[in-house]
Homo-oligomer: A and B are copies of this chain.
């Protein structure tokens, strides 16, 4: 297994894993602000400069943590999907979306790190090859694939091109091969559903729904059911 890996390489990989594990623990217990270079070193019995043999800066450590968390979340969703033996796409929509919400509620600190505050610089292409960005794309692909599968299995009604307006139509048509051939109107709907569900989860986790809904679970369920019906899917029984 570790052929060609010298003793040092193995130990290096081990401490690197330790660093990330400690960083994760600090994140969970104290939020993003608690994962500091010195705090990680202290918890590992190392001196702060030692960590610079593993990460070029504090930001790099956090970035690596973000990438790992994206992959962990994606993995959890894929696992959920794999355990779902029957190919009912309605059930799969509920499974994945509820899975995302459950993960977010169970890991609020991690969720806040991933989705809380985002890209400060609006330049799109300069950080497109970052591991964190790629992991984010893999996460997004889970739901992009799901909606494409639903579409190709049983196309749902969608607004005509004329109803979208020329500007929006042109933007959406540019994404048609990213969405496996779906027409602009269908992509428009998919995006609308994503904003509703994803936005709802963010607002719930970040406490921006407390003023009206102490527990947003029932509301989320209702919204999800509404979307499932609009997509023409068989929704799982309530409760």
Contact = CB atoms under 8 A, between A and B. Distances in A.
Contacts of A165: 218, 221-222, 238
Given A117-B116, A210-B124, A198 B196 contact: no
A38 B225 CA distance: 52
Contacts of A175: 212
A219 B112 CA distance: 26
Interface in A157-206: 164-165, 167-168, 171, 175, 178, 187-188, 191-192, 195-196, 198-200, 202-203, 206
Interface in A122-154: 122, 124, 137, 140
Contacts of A117: 112, 116-117, 206
Contact of A206 (B118, B215, B217, B219): B118
A163 to B, nearest CB: 8
A75 interface: no
A119 B119 CA distance: 21
Q: How many copies does the complex hold?
A: 2
Question: Chain A interface residue count: which class?
Answer: 35 or more
Interface string A196-239: 10111011001110111111011101110000000000000010
B191 A219 contact: yes
A90 interface: no
A120 interface: yes
A165 B238 CA distance: 9
A217 B199 CA distance: 18
A116 B116 CA distance: 6
Contacts of A124: 210, 214
A110 to B, nearest CB: 13
A156 interface: no
Contacts of A198: 199, 203
A115 interface: yes
Contacts of A140: 211
A191 B140 CA distance: 26
Given A199-B198, A199-B202, A213 B118 contact: no
B119 A210 contact: yes
A31 interface: yes
8 contacts: A117-B206, A118-B206, A122-B207, A124-B214, A171-B218, A187-B212, A195-B199, A196-B199
